[in-house]
Structure 1
């Protein structure tokens, strides 16, 4: 999620109704600055790509009106009706986004394990496509903005790609400092951007009012019908106007439903519609402006200031996607689909401000590779869209199970609405699929590679827990067999973190074997991440006394919570167990995965899982454990 979210108290969801102490106006401004950066920069390149030679669309007044009409009604049907009106209502305790929707759909189908498993895999695949989008968005947004340098003077053309790389490197390097200060500037800059889009578009509409015929949906249908076999190529370009629609849903938890709906209806949609119509009006009178219709909307003296504004808008659009990648990664880790990674919190006030170094540099490498490999926004446009449209398709499928199984809407309503939007989504996917060999393979390959890694990690962790349970000793009989009077007892508390609370922690067995000592208080601790965004503090801890100085504690976190174990353990005192942080040691079992022949996974996947396990981030840092109170003991486990 974007890093400019309003402060959220730990364990308390920000609900989507839009009520918040900051006020509706402040939240709406924040939403404009973060949520709409991606879709707001689409006018930089969309119209130019619709009339590129590859689409086969002749540049004339009839087709200009038709193309602009398709853009307008796509914004109305896909963004306004599907996302703003309908899908924003499918919030998971105030949170939105692919993984939040996946958890919601999985919860709605809890009684059907196979369907639930399939929906989880589908949702994870949709999440991996988001990563593909996260590589393409910064590349095409900044590169298309910097291509305005060519219009300032052709001498600067060789510097477009180097300047783009420099801006992107600077953007990613700054991530570790957080975006709190810059974030406060996002809203006003993007408001200025949308105002500029709307005003310059309106001026050209006044000069060529015939473009207003694009408001007639029949012109859109006529344009699509006239394309013949070139329909999919044209749709593949038009879909560029919709990229960023998923951000409306993904960022709902930070701003609420009402501010996003208000921002879209009052500012963003009118500005985009006016600008696209303005570009159409310009091209009706000056077809030669197709080389870069966005910048040609402005007088020559205005190109440089608009270039600066466009670059800022592109950076903001990129920042929103980058921050969203961090949040998606954190959610995936806590839902068990990714290994632990170091998560840095860059703000003491704002829970959404996180920084994941390994993901940051991996993302930068992918973005730079995209810029250097494709070299222009037109080339990148071929790669753009397929990941976005597939994500839209998956969102529609998952939403069906939420509204039908979760909300119990009548089958005709749920099926009818789903079929309508799936038909639109299928057309958009098909339009982008024709660009597969021209670059569409890039985000898909990246998404499939990530899906392989995430599914391997989830499957490997399941098998690992099963292996530990199979080889381990049952906890209850073990405690009953202990003879405390014959054991030396240390006057401290030992906390053993385990994945399976029914078996004896391997670290406890090692401690008894090598040190021949048992602590006075022994805590068998399990951390459970629920398929909800937030778990409130009063539901965070479960304590059960097992006898002989043993307790079983389960800590519950949502996938948006920060898993601070020491802080959560302070909540055990009202349940009769007081733990002194200065007298508590944490014992961890660090499993070394040993691939075996004839296992439940292919041997190459076992090796891959073993490599991922070796390189997983520190449990100590992930669970906020005090490093001077941690003892790690190794164990070899076959899967």
Structure 2
């Protein structure tokens, strides 16, 4: 359980090698047992989770690009070529075959990239000891030892801050994108009803709102998830089938696969062609899901499903729509629905039902991704604490956050009512997508140098190639800021400010506790036995010297404590007491404050730190670090370590594990384990309130007021810890900043 600081890195490296071999053996056995068929099954499951957003883009892409009928067929060829090659370069090449390699023990997303960079730079996510970076779960990558030369991230505080802001801004952009995805997807599908029934045009908004309300009310259950892959799979088959039928009407459209038409479009139209990239970008929305949802599947399954299923189906769909646009430019009014084989037959209504279900699933996937991102941000002290509910016993990542669910529902309903038509929403859509694509490119370029340890020129080439493409898309979408793109940018900036202020306030409290940490020797005078305590109570003046002389001989007895200075005895009552602290060694501020008012402590006294660390998951062998505090009887220091995708659990099972770990280093505690069910467990948690000095600058006062407001309106830190409320004691303190 415990290791010395000098040899922790050596033992960790040895353990990492053993785990690497074990992982290789397990992967070999899995491949041997299931082989390609097993990966195909997993690839099929990815269809219902990852491709909902990008798979429903054909509903509105061409309508956004051509609000008016195209007058020149070459424009159709040019934009279609841009769409095909954008799909090939960004999702297919950049994400599926390059960025997916930067997984963090199987997890993906911007937080995974941040985790990799933090670990390989020797930086903990929160304050504390860097020996947390040597745990066995870092088996997939090596880490920096304290003796190694620090990299540029480790050396520069400015770089660390910029890196954190980039990651948080990327997260904020994805969250703001989650507001538009359900709205534009469902609206564009419901609008299909207006082609065979024009009289229902005014009903599209109420119907869309009703679907949204039902969707968000159904977030409490995960039972329908099993149908996602078959439904989205049928949707892709319908896209490919309709695309093939449309291509058969005008086979010459296949020439658009030639990238020449992309360059010819830009040369012929000049600067005005730059704006069309905003519409082309809509064809690749959802690419971040390819990376962010990696933890639910694996790299090979995503590569198989996109290469063999999603990419061909999408390409055929866009080629088919392009073919019909050349033959009849008037279909640009509602390209997808007007290019179906019949506008009022059974095929039309089958596709309509599939489109509606697929957009609902796309919205569901975005909502679930929002829940996951918020939970990860909370674990990293970057978001106010909210209540998390688990809605599935089998799926670990199936969570539900009530506050976020209803906030999303309210904002999305406002968006649907305000914009009315999907064509209006496409104006605001895309700014967040292009921004987070560029941020991912920047982070991955740094990963190439820091994590993969490749030459700098490789990172430079990667950034120049894909950064140029991302910047072109972003520049085009920024032209739409005045027309509606301001909405997603405003939401993103607001979320970023909330996360930065929360992180800032939490860090202030953390630093305050680290600066003011103390030891038990600064609180208690010495240990002395229960018998001597009784004697000292009857005759304090005559027994003090004698007690001090016999301390060493009494360490094996039932020990009691007395306060330093006053000599007042501190009673030890039966039970287990957990005093929580923010980080670091030493005594929690809550304990210091508590003991001054109530000189009574439980028999088993545990000072516990909950430490998030930069890995997705922490194995049980690395969960706890337990140490005995000096010569004090039954007083222990415990550190509980959790990955950024894990839920912190401090319930009955956790207490049993803690006591079991204590028994391994202190045999005297074995009797507690035997009678654990009868022990009273008390959780003592500090509640610090930040208060500004009278001479603090105005901006600091404003930040503190905002942080205090967020604290007052968020859940308590223990709300998601599975702790019985009746066993909690809060100790309030004011911290002057």
Q: TM-score range by the shorter chain?
A: over 0.9
Answer yes or no: is 1:604 the counterpart of 2:702.
Answer: yes
Answer yes or no: is 1:173 the counterpart of 2:271.
Answer: no
User: What is aligned with 1:571?
Assistant: 657
Note the residue ranges of structure 2 that are not aligned, 5 or more in a row: 1-21, 123-153, 529-559, 562-568
Q: State the 1:582 CA deviation.
A: 4.5
SS in 2 for 1:205: helix
Q: Would you say the 8 A contact 1:34–1:320 is kept in 2?
A: yes
Residues of 2 paired with 1:480 and 1:516: CA distance?
13
Q: Would you say the 8 A contact 1:51–1:59 is kept in 2?
A: no
Counterpart pick for 1:255 among 279, 291, 297: 297
Residues of 1 paired with 2:474 and 2:618: CA distance?
37
Q: State the 1:116 CA deviation.
A: 2.4
Relative distance call for 1:477 and 1:76 in structure 2 (3 A) is: same
Deviates more, 1:486-495 or 1:162-171: 486-495
Q: Would you say the 8 A contact 1:16–1:91 is kept in 2?
A: no
Answer yes or no: is 1:586 the counterpart of 2:675.
Answer: no
User: What is aligned with 1:509?
Assistant: 592
Residues of 2 paired with 1:523 and 1:410: CA distance?
48
Q: Deviations over 1:95-133 (max 9, x none)?
A: 001211122233334423422221111111100001110
Q: Deviations over 1:306-330 (max 9, x none)?
A: 2221110000000111000000000
User: What is aligned with 2:286?
Assistant: 244
User: What is aligned with 2:202?
Assistant: 158
User: What is aligned with 2:17?
Assistant: none
Answer yes or no: is 1:290 the counterpart of 2:332.
Answer: yes
Counterpart pick for 1:141 among 182, 185, 200: 185
SS in 2 for 1:67: helix
Residues of 2 paired with 1:342 and 1:596: CA distance?
32
Answer yes or no: is 1:528 the counterpart of 2:611.
Answer: yes
Runs of 4+ in 1 over 4 A off after TM superposition: 12-22, 479-483
Q: Deviations over 1:331-354 (max 9, x none)?
A: 000011012110000111110100
Residues of 2 paired with 1:50 and 1:13: CA distance?
48
SS in 1 for 2:97: helix
Residues of 2 paired with 1:568 and 1:117: CA distance?
34
Q: State the 1:520 CA deviation.
A: 1.4
Q: State the 1:451 CA deviation.
A: 0.4
Residues of 2 paired with 1:309 and 1:13: CA distance?
41
SS in 2 for 1:565: coil
Counterpart pick for 2:240 among 198, 209, 212: 198
Q: Would you say the 8 A contact 2:265–2:273 is kept in 1?
A: no
Counterpart pick for 2:166 among 114, 122, 131: 122
Q: Would you say the 8 A contact 1:383–1:435 is kept in 2?
A: yes
User: What is aligned with 2:555?
Assistant: none
Q: State the 1:157 CA deviation.
A: 0.4
User: What is aligned with 1:8?
Assistant: none
Residues of 1 paired with 2:27 and 2:102: CA distance?
10
SS in 1 for 2:107: coil
Q: State the 1:477 CA deviation.
A: 3.3
User: What is aligned with 2:127?
Assistant: none
Q: State the 1:215 CA deviation.
A: 0.9
Q: Deviations over 1:385-444 (max 9, x none)?
A: 010110000000000111111111122222112210000000000110000011101111
SS in 2 for 1:585: strand
Q: Would you say the 8 A contact 2:91–2:287 is kept in 1?
A: yes
SS in 2 for 1:32: helix
SS in 2 for 1:422: helix
Q: Would you say the 8 A contact 1:13–1:534 is kept in 2?
A: no
Q: State the 1:510 CA deviation.
A: 4.2
Relative distance call for 1:207 and 1:303 in structure 2 (3 A) is: same
Q: Deviations over 1:465-497 (max 9, x none)?
A: 223344554445335656635321101111011
Answer yes or no: is 1:227 the counterpart of 2:313.
Answer: no
Q: State the 1:44 CA deviation.
A: 0.1
Deviates more, 1:347-356 or 1:476-485: 476-485
Q: Would you say the 8 A contact 1:98–1:127 is kept in 2?
A: yes
Q: Would you say the 8 A contact 1:469–1:500 is kept in 2?
A: yes
SS in 1 for 2:199: helix
Residues of 1 paired with 2:355 and 2:174: CA distance?
24
Counterpart pick for 1:423 among 468, 476, 501: 468
User: What is aligned with 1:63?
Assistant: 75
Residues of 2 paired with 1:434 and 1:190: CA distance?
33
SS in 1 for 2:646: coil
Residues of 1 paired with 2:118 and 2:466: CA distance?
21
Counterpart pick for 2:43 among 28, 43, 49: 28
Relative distance call for 1:160 and 1:421 in structure 2 (3 A) is: same
Relative distance call for 1:500 and 1:606 in structure 2 (3 A) is: same
Relative distance call for 1:596 and 1:164 in structure 2 (3 A) is: farther
SS in 2 for 1:213: helix
Residues of 2 paired with 1:112 and 1:511: CA distance?
39
User: What is aligned with 1:377?
Assistant: 422
Let me know the Cα RMSD of the aligned residues.
2.2
Answer yes or no: is 1:555 the counterpart of 2:653.
Answer: no
In the comparison of the two structures, how many residue pairs are matched? Answer: 623
Residues of 2 paired with 1:365 and 1:482: CA distance?
60
Deviates more, 1:271-280 or 1:624-633: 624-633
Q: State the 1:612 CA deviation.
A: 1.1
Residues of 1 paired with 2:521 and 2:300: CA distance?
51
Q: Deviations over 1:523-557 (max 9, x none)?
A: 00000001111111111100010032311000000
Residues of 1 paired with 2:252 and 2:335: CA distance?
18
Counterpart pick for 1:112 among 141, 144, 155: 155
Counterpart pick for 1:40 among 37, 52, 55: 55
Residues of 1 paired with 2:295 and 2:240: CA distance?
28
Which is higher, the Rg of structure 1 or of structure 2? 2
Answer yes or no: is 1:447 the counterpart of 2:492.
Answer: yes
Answer yes or no: is 1:543 the counterpart of 2:626.
Answer: yes
Answer yes or no: is 1:340 the counterpart of 2:385.
Answer: yes
Deviates more, 1:92-101 or 1:471-480: 471-480
Q: Would you say the 8 A contact 2:70–2:329 is kept in 1?
A: no
Q: Deviations over 1:20-47 (max 9, x none)?
A: 9893233112100110000000000001
Matches for 1:265-414 after TM superposition, within 5 Å = 265-298=307-340, 299-300=342-343, 301=345, 302-414=347-459
Residues of 2 paired with 1:247 and 1:562: CA distance?
22
Residues of 1 paired with 2:155 and 2:240: CA distance?
49
Deviates more, 1:478-487 or 1:246-255: 478-487
Q: Would you say the 8 A contact 2:52–2:362 is kept in 1?
A: yes
Q: Would you say the 8 A contact 2:448–2:458 is kept in 1?
A: no
Q: Would you say the 8 A contact 1:105–1:402 is kept in 2?
A: yes
Q: State the 1:13 CA deviation.
A: 11
Deviates more, 1:496-505 or 1:251-260: 496-505
Residues of 2 paired with 1:377 and 1:499: CA distance?
47
User: What is aligned with 1:96?
Assistant: 108
User: What is aligned with 2:125?
Assistant: none
Q: Would you say the 8 A contact 1:620–1:627 is kept in 2?
A: no
